[in-house]
Amino acid sequence: MLKKGIKYTVALILLLIVGYNSVYIKKLSEVKAAAATGKFDATLYAQTFWQEKLTPGLAKANNLPELLTLLKSDKENAFKNYSHALGIGNLRYFLIKGIGKITASNENDISVTLLPDSVGQEVKLATEFVYGNAVRDALGILSINDFSNTMDMNNVSAEINKKIRTEIIPPFRAQAKKSDVVAFTGAIELNQVHLRLDEIEVIPVSLNLIQK
93 found inside a domain: yes
CATH number at residue 109: 2.40.50.420
pTM of the shown model: 0.80
Yes or no: say if 122 and 116 are a contact pair by the CB < 8 Å rule.
Answer: no
Report the number of distinct structural domains present in the chain.
1
* DSSP-derived 3-state class of residue 207: strand
Does 80 fall in a domain? yes
pLDDT (0 to 100) of residue 18: 40
In a domain, 1, yes or no: no
Q: What is the pLDDT of residue 120?
A: 80
The residues that bridge with 100 in the sheet, in sequence order, are 114, 182
Distances in Å between the Cα of 120 and the Cα atoms of 113, 116, 192, 195 are 6, 7, 23, 19
- d(C-alpha 60, C-alpha 99), whole Å: 16
Write out the E strands in the chain. 62-63, 91-105, 109-114, 122-126, 181-191, 201-210
Q: Is residue 21 part of a domain?
A: no
CA 100 – CA 130 distance, rounded (Å) = 20
Q: What is the pLDDT of residue 32?
A: 40
Helix (DSSP H) and strand (DSSP E) numbers for the chain: 9, 6
Sign of the dihedral through C-alpha 210, 55, 49, 57: positive
- With respect to residue 16, please indicate whether it lies within any of the assigned structural domains: no
- Let me know if residue 203 belongs to a domain: yes
> Is 141 a member of any domain?
yes
- Helices 42-49 and 150-163 meet at what angle, rounded to 10? 60
What is the model's pLDDT at position 205?
98
| Domain span holding position 111 | 40-210
pLDDT, one tens digit for every residue, the chain (212 residues): 444 444 444 444 444 444 444 333 433 334 344 345 568 999 999 999 999 999 999 999 999 999 999 999 999 999 999 999 988 889 999 999 999 999 999 999 999 999 987 678 999 999 999 999 999 999 999 999 999 999 999 999 999 999 999 999 999 999 999 999 999 999 999 999 999 999 899 999 999 999 76
